[in-house]
Amino acid sequence: MKFTFVSNYINHHQIPVSSILYEKLGGDYHFIQTQRMEQERQEMGWAVEENSLPYLKCWYQEPEICRALVADSDVVVFGGVDEESYIAERLQSGRPVIRYSERLYREGQWKAISPRGLIKKYKDHTRYRGKDVYLLCSGAYVASDFHIVRSYPDKMFQWGYFTELKTYDIETLLAEKPGAGDGPAELLFAGRFLPLKHPEYALLLAKELKKEGLSFHLTMAGGGEMEKDLQRSAAESGLEDSVTFTGYQSPETVRGYMERADVFLMTSNYLEGWGAVLNEAMNSGCAVIADSAVGAVPFLLRHEKNGMVYRDGDREEFLKYGVQLVREAHLRRHLGRNAYDTIVSLWNPAYAAESLLAFAEGLLQGQIVVNQEGPLSRAPVIPPAEGYDYTRRCGR
């Protein structure tokens, strides 16, 4: 089977799945990168050398070869690219296409009323509702957005980003975390310091923990426009001895922070389409506190089973769970152990790649082959306002 994956660029969140697909298919697998990565993400350590991966092709370097791959492959996966011209001929051919997408309406589903927007959604998506075109939903609220524009009926499936899987002796990993003994609980925020990611919530929790007289340390890994304000706030609150700002670090270094962290803070709002640091933190055995609006949360987390989920923007609930986890080491271990199991058993690159291949092979035989849960299971239609409740009523 000739299989081609097309996206804006490859990064460390996509390489694990692609490398497994290459192991399975050899020279019949290619990843086409349509543009160069933005400078900011390169500075964060996301860049990949264009000649470092045997399956990587760049449209801007070899357009004719890339165009032929899209036309000739048995199955094409396409997503993360605003420009539809890359896939237009393939869609018209009627041969199988698997699209993947984050949300259409991150800023609010009310935007679906735009006539101009609806025309574009019809052109790009809705008119193919009866064709051999399928949708991988990279986030729990994606299916709800596409349901509004009546696209992909019964053809939407769970997907996401699949970071490198690391395997540990989980009991040893949990026992070596600072808060497992008599040491202070280690809290971690990792990401860009932007309003959508609400890094200030981490400092609010630090202030609350200090007021409660609890022993903790908070690492703030990242940088961005809010960095100076956050550092000033920490100093004014007398948190210099309890909070460390590391600046931007490589993905490998951040994974090291996660392995040490007792609690990971996932505080982004609805603008976070997926949030791959959640995969990494769960894989590292962290007890996670997460905002329900983050795209990955309803797919990956079940409240009080493998993480704690607070209602979008509810600071009081966030602080309550933060204090609870610092107080209760046994609860941290319970959540961290189950979080690790979720990634190892379901939401990992090997499971995703094998499921995607099985799905693609089924399409070539006129069948839809899906899993019962996890990647390539059917994506439920979860309106954004219902994500919080979904994490409570759906067990694993």
Taking only Cα atoms into account, the Rg of the chain, rounded to an integer number of angstroms, comes to 21
The pTM of this model reads 0.93
Q: How far apart are CA 94 and CA 8, in angstroms?
A: 23
The string of pLDDT tens digits covering residues 176-212 is: 999 998 889 999 999 999 999 999 999 999 999 999 9
DSSP-assigned letters across all residues of 6-44? EES---TTTHHHHHHHHHHHGGGEEEEE-SPPPHHHHHT
Instruction: Name the residue among 292, 384, 300 with its Cα closest to residue 103.
Output: 384
The helix/strand/coil state of 3 is strand
For the chain, residues with pLDDT lower than 70 are 37-51, 395-396
Q: Which two tokens stand for residue 383?
A: 């309106």
pLDDT of the residue at 44: 56
Q: What is the pLDDT of residue 46?
A: 54
Position 22 scores a pLDDT of 97
pLDDT in tens, 31-76: 999 987 655 655 555 556 666 799 999 999 999 999 999 999 999 9
Q: In whole numbers, what is the pLDDT of the chain averaged over residues?
A: 94
Cα dihedral 43/45/50/55 (nearest 10): -150
pLDDT at 43: 55
